[in-house]
Amino acid sequence: MLKVYNTLSRKKEDFKELNKGEITMYSCGPTVYNYAHIGNLRTYVFMDLLRRVLQYDGYKLKGVMNITDVGHLTSDGDEGEDKMDKRAKETGKTPKEIADFYTNIFMTDLAKLNIGLPETIAKATEHIDDMIQYVQRLVEAGFAYETSDGVYFDISKFPKYGELSRLNLDEQIAGARVEVNSEKRNPQDFAVWKKADPNHIQQWPSPWGMGYPGWHIECSAMSQKYLGEVFDIHTGGVDHIPVHHENEIAQNEALTGKKSVDYWMHGEFMLVDNGKMSKSLGNTYTIAQLEQMGYSPMVFRYFCLNAHYRKKLNFTFEGMDAAKVSYERLCGILRSHSYGLALVDQDTLNEFKQEFDNAINDDINIPMALGVLWKMTKLPLCSDVYKLALQMDKVLGLSLDKAEEYIKKNGTDVPDEVVALAEERLLAKQQKDWTKADELRGKIKEMGYSVLDSKEGYELKKL
Ligand code: AMP
Ligand code: ZN
């Protein structure tokens, strides 16, 4: 039975889908005015792991992810510059050129990280009419009102506002920036449509004149269009809880009077050197940069898989080095299993599978599942172990079917036979068979290598 942590209830809940066997899921996508950094990508690794667990459990997925190719503003409030507009003006390119360029790179990054694409990818610019209609319905129902610079959602009409973030209105007002917009009825009212001044590049005709949609309306309009008024799961990063998702809920539920999403799931942040990751601090990295430094995308994915999605993950190069060694070793030992002739009985393998399934179904506990896989690799070298590992990899997405290729391409240039002996020696050591371990060390030496014990297992050096 799958259990997931629901931000709405702050509890792990038994998962029950709305329509038997099919899951409707919306994931907040990127704003494509710049490269996605590794923090952003951690959130999509989480989305992918969740999708893979659901698929592994036999569900059919109907997933939607948006691409925000209209600028939302530099602050979560309704002030500041439009990010897309700013970038376009800085570079002399059109917003579409900027958006297409970064969308392509984002898609390539997802592919490199084995992140499966949701079934529908929805670009904001292709759904402006849906958003305008949504705003119109809000205005007609009395939930939104026009001012001289836009259309705002009146949160006093939605008493449940704040339920997701568990902040009451006073707390939210206390945290709000100094108001410059005196036409708003309540300080926390947010823009669903902004009127554009003439030099704003992206603008569309609307019943309120030329303008552009608010960021939150984008996700409400597109999720409801593709998934209906009520759907199963909504994902995003934890930073979306207090404003973006709170506003989505207000927009959705004001109109329908229904609870729009059953399970809100949020991925925790990635930090760098225990602090915030930000472009201005110069501590963000892209997948391409990591590749240039010699870390393959799979090493980054492995690094992410070592932390539960609800835990902060601190990015360090020491951590990446350790992930690299571990990933390489995992590939190495699985390759040895793929050639292994030992017999492992089916009951033992079933127990490992059961343990693995329990871990992934316990709120997507991937670190624990990875632990089960590692434990399984300690079995005598057997091709059935490799086969089961490949089944597990349907969830992990670590390209373990390409273990051999990875080792050939990225591994040390130590011959396969020597690595196999070193793996066997490690196993012997773990089983406290010191005589065998020494024997194997001798054999490795005869082949011209020394084996040193290390934190990650062993290191092989040419003599
Ligand atoms: P954005 O393009 O800014 O809308 O962000 C795309 C996604 O990345 C959103 O789901 C954010 O919640 C998420 N995100 C932003 N920064 C980080 C971070 N440091 N760690 C994890 N996720 C993040
Ligand atoms: Zn969103």
pLDDT digits 0-9 by tens, 71-100: 765 555 555 677 888 888 888 888 899 999
Phi then psi for residue 234, to 5 deg, are -130, 130
Greater pLDDT, 120 or 416: 120
| Residue owning the nearest CA to atom 6 of ligand 1 | 30
- Global pTM reads 0.90
- The pLDDT, as a whole number, for residue 293 is 96
| Residue owning the nearest CA to atom 12 of ligand 1 | 237
Summarize pLDDT for 34-79 with one digit per residue, the tens: 999 999 999 999 999 999 999 999 999 999 999 999 876 555 555 5
- The pLDDT, as a whole number, for residue 20 is 97
Summarize pLDDT for 183-209 with one digit per residue, the tens: 999 988 999 999 998 888 899 999 999
Greater pLDDT, 164 or 409: 164
Give me the mean pLDDT over the 347-376 stretch.
98
- The pLDDT, as a whole number, for residue 364 is 98
Summarize pLDDT for 374-394 with one digit per residue, the tens: 999 999 999 999 999 999 999
Q: pLDDT-derived band of residue 346, with 50, 70 and 90 as boundaries? A: very high
Report the separation in Å between the CA atom of 251 and the middle of ligand 2, taken as the mean of its atom positions.
Answer: 12
Q: What token pair was written down for 70?
A: 């209209």
User: In sequence order, what are the residues at sequence separation of 6 or more whose Cβ sits closer than 8 angstroms to the Cβ of residue 163?
Assistant: 8, 246, 249
Report the separation in Å between the CA atom of 157 and the middle of ligand 2, taken as the mean of its atom positions.
Answer: 22
Closest-CA residue to 27 (of 163, 118, 134, 116): 118
Q: List ligand 1's pocket residues with C-beta within 6 A.
A: 28, 30-31, 39-40, 42-43, 236-237, 239-240, 269-270, 277
Summarize pLDDT for 428-437 with one digit per residue, the tens: 888 889 999 9
- The pLDDT, as a whole number, for residue 80 is 62
Greater pLDDT, 110 or 336: 110
Q: pLDDT-derived band of residue 172, with 50, 70 and 90 as boundaries? A: low
Ligand 1 atom closest to Cα of 235?
10
| Residue owning the nearest CA to atom 5 of ligand 1 | 30
Model confidence at 413: pLDDT above 80: no
Give me the mean pLDDT over the 122-150 stretch.
97
Domain residue extents for the chain:
3-267, 294-411
Summarize pLDDT for 446-460 with one digit per residue, the tens: 988 888 887 667 877
Q: Which amino acid is at 221?
A: A
Report the separation in Å between the CA atom of 55 and the middle of ligand 2, taken as the mean of its atom positions.
Answer: 23
| Residue owning the nearest CA to atom 8 of ligand 1 | 40
Task: Please name every residue paired with 261 in a beta bridge, in sequence order, or none if there are none.
Answer: 231
Model confidence at 415: pLDDT above 80: no
Report the percentage of the chain scoring pLDDT > 90: 74
| Residue owning the nearest CA to atom 15 of ligand 1 | 40
Ligand 1 atom closest to Cα of 236?
10
Element (H, E) at 375: helix 366-377
Q: Give the whole-angstrom CA distance, residue 195 versus residue 189.
A: 16
- The pLDDT, as a whole number, for residue 208 is 97
The single-letter DSSP state of residue 269 is P
| Residue owning the nearest CA to atom 9 of ligand 1 | 237
> Ligand 1 pocket test: which of 65, 239, 281 has the largest number of ligand atoms within 8 Å of its C-beta?
239
- The pLDDT, as a whole number, for residue 159 is 92
User: Which ligand is closest to the CA of 124, given by its number?
Assistant: 2
The single-letter DSSP state of residue 232 is E
Q: Are 403 and 338 in contact (CB under 8 A)?
A: yes
Ligand 1 atom closest to Cα of 42?
21
Task: Please name every residue paired with 375 in a beta bridge, in sequence order, or none if there are none.
Answer: none
Give me the mean pLDDT over the 5-23 stretch.
98
The CATH number assigned to the domain with range 3-267 reads 3.40.50.620
User: Which ligand is closest to the CA of 214, given by its number?
Assistant: 2
In angstroms, the Cα distances linking 431 to 344, 380, 451, 452 are 16, 11, 18, 18
Residues with CB under 5 A from ligand 2 (ion): 28, 219
Closest-CA residue to 338 (of 398, 380, 382, 392): 382
Report the percentage of the chain scoring pLDDT > 70: 94
- The pLDDT, as a whole number, for residue 36 is 95
| Residue owning the nearest CA to atom 23 of ligand 1 | 40
Model confidence at 176: pLDDT above 60: no
Report the separation in Å between the CA atom of 215 and the middle of ligand 2, taken as the mean of its atom positions.
Answer: 7
- The pLDDT, as a whole number, for residue 406 is 86
